[in-house]
Structure 1
Amino acid sequence: MANTLDPMDLKQMISLHLDGFSNRKIGTTLGISRNTVNNYMRLFNASDYSCKELLAFDNAALEVLFPSHTTIDNARYEELMLYFEGVNKARNHPGFTFLYHYQEYVQQAKDPYGYTQFMEHYWRKYTREKGSMKLEHDPGKELFIDFAGKKLHIIDKQTGEVIPVEVFVAILPNSQYTYVEACRSQKREDLINCCKNALQFYGGIPKAIVSDNLKSAVTRASKYEADINRSFKDFARHYNCVINPTRGYAPQDKALVENAVNLAYQRIYYPIREMRFFSLEDLNREIKRLLERYNNLLFRRKEASRRELFQSVEREYLKPLPEMAYELKGYRRAKVQKMGYVYFSPDKSYYSVPYRYIGKETTIHYTSTAVEVYYYHQRIALHQRNPSKGSYNTNKDHLSSTHKFYSDWSPEFFKKKAAVHGKHVLGCVEKIMNGVDYPEIGYKRAMGVIQLHKSYGTERLDNACKRALQADAATYLRIKNILKNNLDKSSLFYQDLEEDKSHIPNHDNIRGASAYQ
């Protein structure tokens, strides 16, 4: 089964084309078949958009426009490469022939290559003569990065524990201008942060970053088509460059950065061998001081320093930095819950999405400041990140009409609703809400009182509330009982007092005050 090209690979292909790369160079840089690159370039040229416009499209739009496939079948290659391991071990055996092994390969392979391709791939893997050559590096084309094999150390002031730290090294091969930084680990976050700091140090961006096959950079290593870590690929897209991992077991691909690591041992490790550092900041401050001295050393043959070569030649070939520095993204998968929120596990909190996506599987992209929710490469929600544990973060536009009504509940909301039905209803609602410590309980009781108008009408509700206030019985159940038993219609003691009427009925047998003179 052929692999679908990642939309990020399409953007890198377009970016390299705009930088003047030929189709062959684009294929070599990205590890993609030249024919595949040719096919995509024909599709780009035949589209209704220019390459610059295509570069501005989001991933989903590119995927719709160009759903083509690569011509590389990784399973087929892997099968051949595994078979070659046995062939190579048998080469020195008397009577060995390639034709014999090819016939054996054809019998056991599911989809065998032809004999010509069989031999071509073999000699690519096991060259007849191994040698080295001096590679010419164009200015501003590549930045080589690697971690040093030996670690430095810092000391915890509180416990006295000696903590090993990694050392990141980057070099521009044309000028050999070098950047060195100590960091906590080789994890994805530290690698990307070090690369970001290196680009800031150089003040520009090369066309490609050449990395080792680190786990934090490459998800799946391959001699032909490595799978780049998603966050690292996103970093490259932000800075408009490409990631080009070196071939496995091919140290000549990164000879310059290996040499830079050895020089870092001499120029940085050795001078600080007897120094003690109690924080990463202190260590990097001393590294920076020694690095400046190292970059200012003169090359004997070139009669110029690394810094001078960089400033006079290589700097102008670097692309400008973007206005905003890259912010590391993390990724999580989450299903939209029935209440219209996705669960964000790093903070154990919840973020709303439009209610029509309830039950859908989504992908959460997050940084230290923002949380984005995507459904099939389309962003459906954007929130400012709230680090509070267990918080519910709501955009009211995402809620259904029922939920919006509920979310609008407040003391002012209920007072406004009650005032429509009369001053006595308003008085009861205010008294109910003032009489509880937990607002939501008062809201529910107040809503119950207001909803009684649907069954009994506004006038009767206001009269019932008047009676309840006079009897100091302003509760939902009391008001409901007054209406249910028609007490709002009967002549009550309180009403008689207001009208100056005696509550004792007239009768002939009842004596008045004159009988007691």
Structure 2
Amino acid sequence: MANTLDPMDLKQIISLHLDGLSNRKIGATLGISRNTVNSYMRLFGACDRSLKELLALDNGALEALFPSHTTIDNVRYDELMRCFEGINRARNHPGFTFLHHYRDYVGTAKDPYGYTQFLEHYHRKYAKIKGSMKLEHDPGKELFIDFAGKKLHMVERDTGEVVPVEVFVAILPNSQYTYVEACRSQKREDLIACCTNALNYYGGVPKAIVSDNLKSAVTRASRYEADINRSFKDFARHYNCAINPARGYSPQDKALVENAVHLAYQRIYYPMREMVFFSLADLNREIKRLLVAYNGLLFKRKEASRRELFQSVEREYLKPLPGSAYQLKDYRRAKVQKMGYVYFSPDKSYYSVPYRYIGKETTIHYTGSTVEVHYHQRRIALHGRHPEKGSYNTKKEHLGSTHKYYSDWSPEFFKRKAARHGDHVLGCVETILSKGDYPEIGYKRAMGVIQLHRAYGSQRLDNACKRALQADAATYMRIRNILKNNLDKSSLFYRDLEEDKSHIPDHGNIRGASAYQ
């Protein structure tokens, strides 16, 4: 018989057998080998008493019928155990073999075991059992995160398609306060969004986040120094915590979150098994409701719930949340073009950078609301994101002096410059700007008119513009010709027109219009 049992175990076997359980189920229930149960059932069958009679016997009588003492020859066995002690001392010596020590044992033992039994007893006594260690978790030190292996589902309302969704699980190991959320995928943006929601749920930040070796979290897995995903590392920097991935193929590093996943199957998955959800928001709303009850369950030994342990112990050890929520960053590489802009491919638009970086290779860091341009790890430009395709987004301080001057061109700019040289110059510029269908053409013509003051002076330019306005000829070429041909200078003809007098001198012999009525 492989093992010997005491009378209490025998009575349990008899009771379960009378209840109709098979030998296999009896062994599984009591944690006893099926072969041991089979052996005792054969002994019960060979006994001249019925099972009920055996069950009615007291422990002493039952032990007398089925003794629990071992049948091993203690002298022979003790001799073998002493040999094993010497074997263990030499176990790490180079060239060690069991066969060598077995030959020594055979030479000294009175009644040696066979080689097979020799090894069987040794490995039974010194079984290579990989032990586990009870880890003590400091409050607020770590947050374990993982995705559940089994997915939940929702139904597209329009098409009726059943869509599987991932389930994110996070747990603070000291209090075992748990957070669960459904999301579309395990991609980087969903992972970071779930981590953000988890930290908001806890109302604080731990010192480190222990993650699995997901591609969305770890670019290159390593047992000793993993390469963290750039976006996830930036997320950790924003929340002032560290990322500590578990070792590959070592689930014991995050055993608590693995257990939390299994508990989520029982406390969250199972109650929702017959429910139908038409949106992720509805699914998460029900998860949140079940999560409140789950975190409120009492631990039998601690006589407190996860929520109570979190509130009374762990919450005060968490670092405060930052003032703003993290926005997921993406990255692009771009060369600064000759005109001082980088091309932003996601929106097909352009953003200015300081002109001294023309021709340099830069990295663009962008979120849903901002665009940052970095050169050698230093930010050189920051813009609000404008998703309009083909747009040029400019900051004046990025432009050179010549570019800044041209960037100021506008109708008001030219009107201000024209007003310095006279009201008639201003009138001509306003007329020129109002007639142009394409603003830049009107700007050039207006600038040409204003620049004439350099050669002819402001007074002559104003007079020339006055003549052009009177003749409805307010163009750059007409004004230039008036100045070039000195037509702007006062003459008797123009002065008389201005004073509303006739150019014919008064004389007594000259008849006026009244003579011809």
> TM-score surpassing 0.5?
yes
Partner amino acid, structure 1, of 2:375: Y
Aligned position for 1:244: 244
1:457 match: secondary structure: helix
Q: How far does residue 455 in structure 1 lie from its aligned partner after superposition?
A: 3.1
| C-alpha distance in 2 between matches for 1:466 and 1:318 | 78
- Once the two structures are superposed, the pairs formed by residues 6-17 of structure 1 within 5 Å of their partners are none
Q: How far does residue 392 in structure 1 lie from its aligned partner after superposition?
A: 2.4
Decide whether aligned partners of structure 1 residues 512 and 238 sit closer, same or farther in structure 2, where only a CA change above 3 A counts. Answer: closer
Aligned position for 1:372: 372
| Residue 394, structure 1, aligned to residue 380, structure 2 | no
Aligned position for 1:212: 212
Partner amino acid, structure 1, of 2:481: N
| Residue 263, structure 1, aligned to residue 257, structure 2 | no
Aligned position for 1:152: 152
| C-alpha distance in 2 between matches for 1:481 and 1:247 | 86
Decide whether aligned partners of structure 1 residues 381 and 514 sit closer, same or farther in structure 2, where only a CA change above 3 A counts. Answer: closer
| C-alpha distance in 2 between matches for 1:407 and 1:388 | 20
Aligned position for 1:316: 316
Q: How far does residue 502 in structure 1 lie from its aligned partner after superposition?
A: 6.3
Q: How far does residue 382 in structure 1 lie from its aligned partner after superposition?
A: 2.0
Aligned position for 1:36: none
| C-alpha distance in 2 between matches for 1:277 and 1:513 | 100
Aligned position for 2:34: none
Q: How far does residue 503 in structure 1 lie from its aligned partner after superposition?
A: 7.2
Select between 469-478 and 459-468 the one with higher mean Cα deviation: 459-468
- Once the two structures are superposed, the pairs formed by residues 336-415 of structure 1 within 5 Å of their partners are 336-415=336-415
| C-alpha distance in 2 between matches for 1:498 and 1:139 | 95
Partner amino acid, structure 2, of 1:426: L
Aligned position for 2:171: 171
- Once the two structures are superposed, the pairs formed by residues 69-80 of structure 1 within 5 Å of their partners are none
Aligned position for 1:306: 306
Decide whether aligned partners of structure 1 residues 96 and 329 sit closer, same or farther in structure 2, where only a CA change above 3 A counts. Answer: farther
| C-alpha distance in 2 between matches for 1:493 and 1:129 | 121
Q: How far does residue 136 in structure 1 lie from its aligned partner after superposition?
A: 2.5
- Once the two structures are superposed, the pairs formed by residues 89-104 of structure 1 within 5 Å of their partners are none
Aligned position for 1:74: none
Partner amino acid, structure 2, of 1:374: H
Decide whether aligned partners of structure 1 residues 156 and 477 sit closer, same or farther in structure 2, where only a CA change above 3 A counts. Answer: farther
Select between 432-441 and 411-420 the one with higher mean Cα deviation: 432-441
| C-alpha distance in 1 between matches for 2:285 and 2:492 | 87
In the TM superposition, what whole-angstrom CA distance separates every residue of 1:85-124 from its partner, at most 9, and x where no partner exists? xxxxxxxxxx999xxxxxxxxxxxxxxxxxxxxxxxxxxx
Decide whether aligned partners of structure 1 residues 138 and 498 sit closer, same or farther in structure 2, where only a CA change above 3 A counts. Answer: closer
- Once the two structures are superposed, the pairs formed by residues 503-514 of structure 1 within 5 Å of their partners are none
Decide whether aligned partners of structure 1 residues 490 and 248 sit closer, same or farther in structure 2, where only a CA change above 3 A counts. Answer: same
Aligned position for 2:201: 201
Partner amino acid, structure 2, of 1:300: K
Aligned position for 1:49: none
Aligned position for 1:133: 133
| C-alpha distance in 2 between matches for 1:226 and 1:180 | 26
2:272 match: secondary structure: coil
2:320 match: secondary structure: coil
Aligned position for 1:421: 421
Partner amino acid, structure 2, of 1:433: L
| C-alpha distance in 1 between matches for 2:414 and 2:344 | 33
Partner amino acid, structure 1, of 2:309: L
8 Å CA contact retained: 1:470, 1:494: no
Decide whether aligned partners of structure 1 residues 503 and 158 sit closer, same or farther in structure 2, where only a CA change above 3 A counts. Answer: farther
| C-alpha distance in 2 between matches for 1:312 and 1:500 | 99
Select between 496-505 and 450-459 the one with higher mean Cα deviation: 496-505
| C-alpha distance in 2 between matches for 1:210 and 1:271 | 29
8 Å CA contact retained: 1:468, 1:479: yes
- For the aligned residue pairs, the C-alpha RMSD in angstroms reads 3.0
In the TM superposition, what whole-angstrom CA distance separates every residue of 1:317-347 from its partner, at most 9, and x where no partner exists? 2222223222222222222222222222222
Aligned position for 1:295: 295
| Structure with larger RCO (C-alpha < 8 A, sep 6+) | 1
| C-alpha distance in 1 between matches for 2:500 and 2:209 | 96
| C-alpha distance in 2 between matches for 1:307 and 1:363 | 44
Partner amino acid, structure 1, of 2:421: H
Decide whether aligned partners of structure 1 residues 463 and 292 sit closer, same or farther in structure 2, where only a CA change above 3 A counts. Answer: same
Select between 478-487 and 418-427 the one with higher mean Cα deviation: 478-487
TM-score (norm 2): 0.69
Q: How far does residue 218 in structure 1 lie from its aligned partner after superposition?
A: 0.7
Aligned position for 1:235: 235
| Residue 498, structure 1, aligned to residue 498, structure 2 | yes
1:213 match: secondary structure: coil
| C-alpha distance in 2 between matches for 1:177 and 1:130 | 29
Aligned position for 2:457: 457
Aligned position for 1:448: 448
1:429 match: secondary structure: helix
- Once the two structures are superposed, the pairs formed by residues 476-487 of structure 1 within 5 Å of their partners are 476-487=476-487
| C-alpha distance in 1 between matches for 2:313 and 2:499 | 103
1:347 match: secondary structure: coil
Decide whether aligned partners of structure 1 residues 318 and 501 sit closer, same or farther in structure 2, where only a CA change above 3 A counts. Answer: closer
Partner amino acid, structure 1, of 2:449: V
1:431 match: secondary structure: helix
Decide whether aligned partners of structure 1 residues 492 and 388 sit closer, same or farther in structure 2, where only a CA change above 3 A counts. Answer: farther
| C-alpha distance in 2 between matches for 1:257 and 1:492 | 102
| C-alpha distance in 2 between matches for 1:196 and 1:212 | 17
| C-alpha distance in 1 between matches for 2:429 and 2:312 | 78
Corresponding residue pairs, total: 390
| C-alpha distance in 1 between matches for 2:324 and 2:500 | 80
Q: How far does residue 246 in structure 1 lie from its aligned partner after superposition?
A: 0.9
Partner amino acid, structure 1, of 2:223: K
8 Å CA contact retained: 1:148, 1:169: yes
Select between 424-433 and 457-466 the one with higher mean Cα deviation: 457-466
Partner amino acid, structure 2, of 1:214: L
Select between 331-340 and 433-442 the one with higher mean Cα deviation: 433-442
2:267 match: secondary structure: helix
Q: How far does residue 139 in structure 1 lie from its aligned partner after superposition?
A: 2.1
In the TM superposition, what whole-angstrom CA distance separates every residue of 1:212-253 from its partner, at most 9, and x where no partner exists? 011111111111211101111111122221100111111221
Q: How far does residue 272 in structure 1 lie from its aligned partner after superposition?
A: 0.9
Give the number of the structure whose alpha-carbon radius of gyration is greater.
2
| C-alpha distance in 1 between matches for 2:222 and 2:341 | 39
| Residue 222, structure 1, aligned to residue 222, structure 2 | yes
| C-alpha distance in 2 between matches for 1:408 and 1:96 | 89
2:271 match: secondary structure: coil
